[in-house]
Chain A
Amino acid sequence: MVKVYTSSVIDTPASEVWARIRDFNGLPGWVPAVAESRIEMQQPADKVGCIRNFTLKDGGRLREQLLALSDYDFSVTYSILESPMGVTNYIATLKLTPITDGNRTFAEWTAEFDCAPGREAELARTIGQGVFQGGFDSLKRRGG
């Protein structure tokens, strides 16, 4: 089991960052690599269990299922159903915590997954630095 942990500080209040993140269908609005996203079966994007089906600008397609969503904890947990990355048992959580000193946001993104032997480091780097840190950098640029 590979574990990835990436965290960052975003200079915007947590409620504003959360407003963007809680939209499970909203990745194209803040993740630079994502081209477009749809929720399957016409379900609302905050229905726990819904599936987002999205394409990357490089052509890759992913399906991810919403496992948990908390407006109280500012956290969202999801699993990957299909992806070109070659990961299995992938579960990730993105959680925000308000930093009272400066009214900023502490953002944490964790993932656990299995993969083919020998690919652990590469995938951990791609996910931790490419996807997660890339997402945080994008949120910072957008001011949440």
Chain B
Amino acid sequence: MIRVAKSTIIDAPVDTVWAILRDFNGHESWHPAVSASRIEGRRTADQVGCVRDFHLAAGGALREQLLSLSDRDRTLSYCILDAPIPLRDYVATVRLRPVTDGDRTFWSWDSRFNVPAGREAELTQLVGEGIYEAGFAAVKGLLGKAIAARSRATGTVTVTRPQPRPAGETMRCNAIVIDAYGGAEQLRWRAVAVPPPGPGEVRLRHTAIGVNFIDIYCRTGYFDLLTPPGVLGMEAAGVVLDVGDGVRELSPGDRVAYACPPVGAYSELRNINARLLIPLPRDVGDQQAAAILLKGMSAEFLLHRVHEVHDGQTILVHAAAGGVGQLLCQWARSLGATVIGTVGSREKARIAREAGCVHPIVYQEEDFAARVRELTNGHGVDVVYDAVGRDTFAKSFEVLKTCGHLVSFGQASGPIPPIDIAGYASKSATVSRPNFGHYTDTPEKVRAISDNLFRNIRNGALRVMVDRLVPLREAAEAHRALEGRLTAGSIVLKPD
């Protein structure tokens, strides 16, 4: 007796796949080997015992009988009654199971049969590859087309599809513009013109805009990502209004988000390279995306790529109640790490603890280096995530264990003085200074990081906290709140 077992994963919900497969007479519409099929007698295709009589595209007729059909288990089995090829005692079972992790479908197609001696290999291959694997590929193709057609036709559940605009029309809108580097007072609400999207670009209408510390560095001129006059902002969600030449993967009405240079997010409308955009899953809202994308993608590469945090490690997160800090705490904890954090107040200690930081240290009340040594029995921590900079950097090195890793990714308290790299030999320490841009400079990298992020939002490992929603025209208020360390979560700007 030969047994053939093939299985695959279909990127569609199980009920969608089952709707195709449960139709015992439907194979003529999807299986490339089948040309014409009918159910014998006056039976329907879901009557157990019915016989399908069909022709092969390559010639020859078969009769197969439905032996069992279960909508509860999403299985069906059938046998061959007559065939031009010698498959004897052939009984096959098709079985679908939901993949709850990602709403996909596991599909197995098994059979047992006898064949004349000497033809085992040939007929095993015919059944396994010519029928089962060819069927897998055909259904994947069918569903791929159906999904593409549906998203083109109806868009998403949450967005009203705008009327496509004729190309070539310049649109006017309002934006927050800075004319010179400086304080929050430099943020001015002003009318700007947005030309039609160029080749490879799309024009977006923003629905929610993220506010990040990097925006402040751009505003003050500490980073040179913006040369005044210009529009700040590197994170937003929105809807595609129209597309430029050569853009094939996005259409008007698609919901997208981005977290990357070039700047220009603090605006009702903008043009942006289509390759920088991330399609938003239906279960991630616009404000959620604007609140978490840049911080969440940062947390992703800090915890998975700059240093691989895992089960059993102890880590120190500075500013553990801040936007990235909370995400680092939540995510590191879900990875099995023990999280120590520093915070600026007892209220922030509570917030950090809720995020998964088991030992929040209020740095004004006690020396964090001494406390970390005490908590780790003098050993220190595996990795320090330090975006505070000047005020913490030296002590962050002090609390590293041997071969520890100091990840410096910001300087909220001021520039970091030059370091004595030779001194790092005392611990064989590693220091990293990751740049968001280098971890997100290709669509493939962005997709891998954002997929992991959305998966961890979906499975509850990460919670998205919108601390406040501020009208876009009042962006200066948002900057003051962020600089005054008054926030415990993300600030999202909302266009009118």
What is A's interface to B at a CB cutoff of 8 Å?
5-9, 32-33, 57, 97-102, 104, 106, 108, 125, 128-130, 133-134, 136-138, 141
* A99-B9 contact given A32-B311, A134-B334, A137-B459, CB 8 Å threshold: yes
A7 touches B99 (CB 8 A): yes
B101 touches A100 (CB 8 A): no
A32-B336, A102-B8 given; 17 more Cβ-contact pairs under 8 Å: A6-B100, A7-B98, A7-B99, A8-B99, A8-B100, A57-B336, A97-B106, A98-B5, A101-B8, A102-B9, A104-B9, A106-B7, A106-B97, A125-B460, A130-B460, A133-B459, A137-B459
- 9 A-B interface contacts by CB (under 8 A): A6-B101, A7-B98, A7-B106, A8-B102, A32-B335, A32-B336, A106-B99, A128-B100, A130-B460
Choice from B6, B98, B99, B311 contacting A100 with Cβ under 8 Å: B6
B108 adjacent to chain A (CB < 8 Å): yes
Q: Mark B132-150, 1 if CB is under 8 A from A, else 0.
A: 0100100000000000000
B460 touches A129 (CB 8 A): yes
* A133-B101 contact given A32-B335, A101-B133, CB 8 Å threshold: yes
Provide the residues of chain B in CB contact with A32, threshold 8 Å: 311, 334-336
A97 touches B101 (CB 8 A): no
B447 CB → nearest A CB, Å:
16
Choice from B5, B100, B102 contacting A5 with Cβ under 8 Å: B100
* A106-B9 contact given A6-B100, A7-B100, A99-B106, CB 8 Å threshold: yes
* A9-B460 contact given A101-B6, A141-B310, CB 8 Å threshold: no
Max count, chain B CB within 10 A of own CB: residue among A7, A98, A129, A136: A7
What is B's interface to A at a CB cutoff of 8 Å?
5-9, 97-102, 104, 106, 108, 133, 136, 310-311, 334-336, 459-460
Provide the residues of chain B in CB contact with A130, threshold 8 Å: 460
B5 CB → nearest A CB, Å:
7
Provide the residues of chain A in CB contact with B104, threshold 8 Å: 9
By beta carbon, the residue of chain A nearest B337 is: A32
Choice from B7, B310, B336 contacting A99 with Cβ under 8 Å: B7
A7 touches B108 (CB 8 A): no
- Interchain CA distance A108-B310 in the complex, whole Å: 24
B459 touches A129 (CB 8 A): yes
Provide the residues of chain A in CB contact with B334, threshold 8 Å: 32, 134
By beta carbon, the residue of chain B nearest A136 is: B101
The 6 A-B pairs at the shortest CB distance, nearest first, are namely A32-B336, A101-B8, A8-B101, A106-B106, A99-B7, A100-B6
Provide the residues of chain A in CB contact with B101, threshold 8 Å: 6-9, 133, 136
By beta carbon, the residue of chain B nearest A108 is: B97
- Interchain CA distance A136-B136 in the complex, whole Å: 25
- Interchain CA distance A79-B136 in the complex, whole Å: 37
By beta carbon, the residue of chain A nearest B95 is: A97
A33 touches B6 (CB 8 A): no
B114 CB → nearest A CB, Å:
22
By beta carbon, the residue of chain B nearest A141 is: B310
By beta carbon, the residue of chain A nearest B304 is: A141
Provide the residues of chain A in CB contact with B106, threshold 8 Å: 7, 9, 97, 99, 106
Provide the residues of chain A in CB contact with B100, threshold 8 Å: 5-8, 128, 133
A134 CB → nearest B CB, Å:
7
- Interchain CA distance A115-B50 in the complex, whole Å: 44
By beta carbon, the residue of chain B nearest A125 is: B460
* A101-B7 contact given A6-B101, A7-B100, A9-B104, CB 8 Å threshold: yes
B96 CB → nearest A CB, Å:
11
- Interchain CA distance A130-B99 in the complex, whole Å: 16
Provide the residues of chain A in CB contact with B335, threshold 8 Å: 32, 141
Max count, chain A CB within 10 A of own CB: residue among B7, B8, B97, B311: B311
- Interchain CA distance A125-B461 in the complex, whole Å: 12
A36 CB → nearest B CB, Å:
12
Choice from B5, B99, B136 contacting A9 with Cβ under 8 Å: B99
By beta carbon, the residue of chain B nearest A133 is: B459
By beta carbon, the residue of chain A nearest B137 is: A101
Provide the residues of chain A in CB contact with B108, threshold 8 Å: 97
B270 CB → nearest A CB, Å:
36
- Interchain CA distance A6-B458 in the complex, whole Å: 14
A141 CB → nearest B CB, Å:
7
Provide the residues of chain A in CB contact with B99, threshold 8 Å: 7-9, 106
Choice from B9, B310, B311, B336 contacting A101 with Cβ under 8 Å: B9
